[in-house]
Amino acid sequence: MTREELTGEQETDLALRISNLNVYYGESHILRNVDMSIPSGEMVCLIGRNGVGKTTLLKTIMGLLKSRTGNIFFADKPIAQLTPDRRAKLGIGYVPQGRDIIPRVSVEDNLLLGLEARPQGRKRNDKIPQEIFDLFPVLKTMLSRMGGDLSGGQQQQLAIARALMGKPRLLVLDEPTEGIQPSIILEIEAAVKRIIEATGISVLLVEQHLHFVRQADKYYAMQKGGIVASGSTEELSQEVIQKFLAV
């Protein structure tokens, strides 16, 4: 018998499924009945104006905030009760808004810190895989520099590379192009697409830059902590763009 016949549950091919999530900061109700799903191997983009709750949703997915109600499934496994470290080790890589590069630590050591997210943790002889430098050649030339001495765009590339060091199955990116010059935005965009093609990884992207949003398969639009529109990015209308993106 298949699992489906045994349990009556349908096996899904979803990297992430969220249902009925409600999240509060103290008494303020931030996320309201959020449902979302990310098919395996796809890129899903979350859009919405400043302060609507996008980062709050990502932090809840990562376990940095607790939800009052709702469920989060990562590859069919319920994860809402797990610590952030467990979620990372299961295969969710996170690049927070503002990047969080450690400024007084070398680029190389910033990268090696990403190994902590591997299931077996960091081992003594672990090295930085060549694929990381193929994706972000600039990092190879800067390994001994301090993280804080890199430009904003370089730090963003470092932050994405650090998340990839953990070999995630789902990559969660919070506004990776915020405050970055246009030519570097295109480089980051291209790198994310190459990562998806090369590894089959799934991506949840929070983004304001329309060109990048359009690279996603599906979008969700958030307003006042609730999902108010969703669909294929091919069908992104001018109305949705004007309402939910700061363009």
Ligand X SMILES: Nc1ncnc2c1ncn2[C@@H]1O[C@H](COP(=O)(O)OP(=O)(O)OP(=O)(O)O)[C@@H](O)[C@H]1O
Given 14, 44, 52, 101, the residue binding ligand X (CB under 6 A): 52
CA 166/CA 141 separation, integer angstroms: 22
Indicate which of Mg ion, ligand X, none lies near residue 56 (CB less than 5 to 8 Å, by partner kind): ligand X
In the list 50, 81, 120, 125, the residue contacting ligand X (rule: CB under 6 A) is 50
DSSP single-letter state for residue 18: E
Nearer Cβ to ligand X, position 48 or 153?
Answer: 48
Which of the choices Mg ion, ligand X, none does residue 215 contact, using the CB cut-off of 5 to 8 A by kind?
A: none
Nearest approach, Cβ of residue 158 and ligand X (Å): 20
One residue of 51, 78, 121, 200 binding ligand X per CB under 6 A = 51
- Position among 14, 16, 18, 30 found at the interface with ligand X (CB under 6 A): 30
Helix (H, G, I), strand (E, B) or coil at 173: strand
DSSP 90-147: HTEEEE-TT----TTSBHHHHHHHGGGGSTT---TT----HHHHHH-HHHHTTTTSBG
**What part of residues 110-139 is at the interface with ligand X (CB under 6 A)?**
none
Q: How far apart are CA 58 and CA 63, in angstroms?
A: 9
Q: Is 179 strand, coil or helix? A: coil
- Which of positions 50-69 make contact with Mg ion (CB under 5 A)? 54-55
The entry of Mg ion, ligand X, none near residue 7 (CB within 5 to 8 angstroms by kind) is none
User: Cα separation of 224 and 213, whole Å?
Assistant: 20
What's the rounded Cα separation, in Å, for the pair 238 and 243? 8
User: Interacting stretch for ligand X, rule CB under 6 A, among 52-60, 71-79, 119-127, 143-151?
Assistant: 52-60
Does 231 bind ligand X (CB under 6 A)? Our answer is no
| Phi/psi of residue 20, nearest 5 degrees | 50, 45
Quick check: 176 binds ligand X (CB under 6 A)?
no
> Could you tell me if residue 209 is left (phi over 0), alpha (psi between -120 and 50 degrees) or otherwise beta?
beta
Interface residues toward ligand X, by CB under 6 A:
25, 30, 48, 50-56, 97
Interface residues toward Mg ion, by CB under 5 A:
54-55, 97
